[in-house]
């Protein structure tokens, strides 16, 4: 699942009837392009990309590296991306023929595994919802006292999943109601102010008549430094929250909603490869476009932003809806990207349950056999993924081993202090490999716009861009060598950072959060690569 609205600023606190808004701690003001800057010279904990270009790479030869972005779609016409979008050299655009005989007609810029001639899937369930739908039919008329063996263990797992879903539905319903209540109170205050977009002075002069109005005034005063104006705050924060939770209730957690008919495949056949369409943008390309820009937005065109890598071709493999991606589609996306020449694959998505991890594992093994490096986002749930499942992951379900050319990425912030681990980022001493910038990252968004997003979804493409940069300047290095270089060249963190365990905050060594114990660094990595 990709989270376009992580709700890190708007927080529902148990027992309160209004949302709590907290801005300054969660949305630090950062320098433009901070993820590529240097801690020593720029005072932000970027990965020293600019330093590497200035001091190590000038005049050096490089080759184009094909990077696949498995995501929700990419705006291939974006002003800062169109020059780096992959064009399939073996395919003729628009002739409705499979010129390269790879099974995918007119796959000029990639492929869409969640579409068909009928259109594209926009919303889907959580995997949890889909699993419960299957088990509801399986256990509908079963006497559980007569179950034994695997049937009994499956029934117990079903009960746990149902409890999880009930909890999520209750939270979504409650939070939607809370935000809606705030929205109503906000309407009342703005009506009294006589403007939908009052000035800061107007808000300061407003005299509340009760505690609710006083609360709205406090929120507006605290919000305005972080938003352009009240209208901007309302659109992004309040309406964004309402949309987020309505989508959860209408689609993600709705047992009666199933969008798979749009695709028209035989969903139960995990070996089916050839379905979908060539619409690599889809109905909501915000997340994928943002990811693509972090990796390789054109660096020397004096517009927009600068990606990490300066010589990539970006392939869009549309696989992730608003909701949880499906294992069959992920497996086929990995296979498609690999078969068509990708050397690095970015996967900024994840979920807590899996329907057919074996299919994904087999596709991962295929990618590794072709010397592909896979980069995956660790997730945004503030979880220890040694304990809480986040899939896909590198551990094979059949216990046959692990994917070695796989990098799991947590998100870091701009300050070298206790807040270095982004407050939302998952972590794990053995399950997460490295951290990379993932807070307030400015990148490309559809229709040639730009926006700041937070998430491990943003941290993973920083590492993907670095991997592509290394493979571009040192093309003889294998995927395993590139991973080894990235891991060995991190900036080690010797101080403690804050994690939240339930309602308790505690300080832990950063070295306990990931295998490498550090934040990736392009300058160090390229210096090390030169010695291989």
Count of C-beta atoms within a 10 Å radius of residue 416: 16
Chain centroid to Cα 418, Å, comes to 23
Please list, in sequence order, all residues whose beta carbon lies within 8 angstroms of the beta carbon of residue 143, skipping any fewer than 6 positions away: none
Using CA of residue 102, residue 103, residue 104, residue 106, what is the dihedral sign? positive
CA 288 – CA 278 distance, rounded (Å): 16
The pair of structure tokens assigned to 71 is 């995501």
- The answer to whether the beta carbons of residues 69 and 315 sit under 8 Å apart is yes
CA 403 – CA 432 distance, rounded (Å): 13
- The answer to whether the beta carbons of residues 297 and 461 sit under 8 Å apart is no
Catalytic residue among 38, 71, 112, 433: 71
**Is 287 known to be catalytic?**
yes
Catalytic residue among 78, 287, 376, 453: 287
- Which neighbouring-strand residues pair with 435? 410, 519
DSSP for 283-305?
Answer: S--HHHHHHHHHHH--SSSSSS-
- Which neighbouring-strand residues pair with 119? 116
- Which neighbouring-strand residues pair with 436? 411
Helix 286-296 / helix 456-473 crossing angle, nearest 10 deg: 40
- The answer to whether the beta carbons of residues 85 and 76 sit under 8 Å apart is yes
- Which neighbouring-strand residues pair with 434? 409
Q: Which of these, 432, 508, 450, 493, lies nearest to 45 by C-alpha position?
A: 493
Task: Say which DSSP state 392 is in.
Answer: S
Which residue matches tokens 């991997």? Answer: 467
**Is 431 known to be catalytic?**
no
Backbone φ and ψ of 5, nearest 5°: -135, 80
The pair of structure tokens assigned to 22 is 């907290």
**Is 116 known to be catalytic?**
no
CA 474 – CA 270 distance, rounded (Å): 37
3-state SS, residue 263: coil
CB-side neighbour CA atoms (13 Å) of 76: 21
Catalytic residue among 443, 457, 472, 489: 457
CA 277 – CA 115 distance, rounded (Å): 6
Q: Which of these, 448, 365, 376, 444, lies nearest to 410 by C-alpha position?
A: 376
Q: What angle do CA 385, 388, 392 make, to 5 degrees?
A: 70
Pairing verdict, β 504-509 and 496-501: antiparallel
- The answer to whether the beta carbons of residues 196 and 231 sit under 8 Å apart is yes
Count of C-beta atoms within a 10 Å radius of residue 343: 23
Q: Which of these, 312, 321, 294, lies nearest to 450 by C-alpha position?
A: 294
Residues annotated as part of the active site: 71, 287, 457
């Amino acid at each position: 699942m990709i989270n376009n609205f992580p709700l890190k600023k708007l927080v529902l606190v148990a027992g309160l009837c209004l949302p709590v808004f907290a801005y300054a701690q969660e949305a630090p003001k950062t320098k433009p392009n901070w993820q590529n800057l240097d801690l020593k010279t720029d005072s932000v904990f970027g990965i020293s990309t600019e330093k590497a270009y200035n001091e190590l790479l000038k005049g050096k030869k490089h080759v184009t590296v094909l990077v696949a972005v498995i995501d929700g779609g990419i705006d291939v016409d974006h002003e800062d991306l169109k020059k780096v979008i992959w064009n399939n050299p073996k395919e003729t655009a628009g002739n409705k023929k499979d010129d390269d005989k790879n099974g995918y007609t007119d796959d000029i810029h990639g492929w869409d595994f969640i579409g068909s001639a009928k259109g594209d899937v926009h919303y889907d369930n959580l995997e949890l919802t889909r699993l419960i739908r299957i088990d509801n039919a399986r256990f509908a008329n079963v006497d559980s006292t007569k179950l034994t063996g695997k049937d009994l263990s499956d029934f117990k797992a079903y009960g746990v999943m149902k409890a999880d879903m009930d909890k999520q539905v209750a939270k979504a319903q409650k939070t939607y109601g809370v935000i809606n209540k705030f929205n109503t109170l906000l309407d009342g205050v703005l009506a009294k102010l006589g403007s939908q977009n009052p000035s800061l002075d107007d808000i300061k002069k407003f005299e509340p008549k009760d505690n609710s109005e006083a609360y709205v005034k406090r929120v507006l005063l605290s919000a305005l430094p972080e938003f352009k104006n009240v209208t901007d705050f309302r659109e992004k924060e309040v309406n964004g929250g309402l949309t987020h939770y309505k989508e959860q209730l209408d689609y993600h957690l709705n047992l009666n909603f199933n969008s798979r008919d749009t695709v028209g495949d035989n969903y139960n056949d995990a070996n089916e490869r050839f379905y979908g369409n060539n619409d690599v943008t889809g109905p909501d390309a915000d997340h994928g476009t943002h990811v693509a820009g972090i990796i390789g937005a054109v660096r020397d065109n004096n517009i927009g932003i600068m990606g990490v890598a300066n010589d990539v071709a970006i392939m869009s493999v549309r696989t992730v809806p608003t909701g949880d991606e499906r294992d069959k589609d992920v497996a086929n996306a990995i296979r498609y990207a690999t078969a068509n020449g990708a050397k690095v694959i970015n996967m900024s998505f994840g979920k807590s349950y899996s329907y057919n991890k074996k299919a994904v594992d087999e596709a991962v093994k295929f990618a590794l056999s072709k010397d592909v490096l896979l980069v995956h986002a660790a997730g945004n749930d503030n979880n220890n993924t040694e304990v809480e499942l986040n899939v896909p992951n590198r551990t094979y379900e059949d216990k046959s081993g692990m994917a070695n050319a796989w990098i799991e990425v947590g998100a870091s912030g701009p300050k070298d202090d206790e807040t270095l681990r982004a407050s939302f980022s998952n972590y794990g001493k053995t399950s997460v490999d490295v951290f990379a910038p993932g807070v307030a990252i400015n990148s490309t968004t559809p229709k040639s716009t730009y926006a700041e997003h937070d998430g491990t979804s943003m941290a993973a493409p920083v590492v993907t861009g670095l991997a592509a940069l290394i493979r571009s300047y040192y093309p003889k290095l294998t995927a395993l060598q590139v991973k080894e270089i990235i891991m060995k060249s991190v900036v080690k963190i010797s101080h403690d950072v804050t994690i939240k365990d339930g309602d308790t905050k505690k300080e832990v060594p950063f070295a306990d959060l990931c295998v490498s114990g550090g934040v990736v660094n392009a300058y160090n990595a390229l210096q090390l690569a030169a010695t291989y």
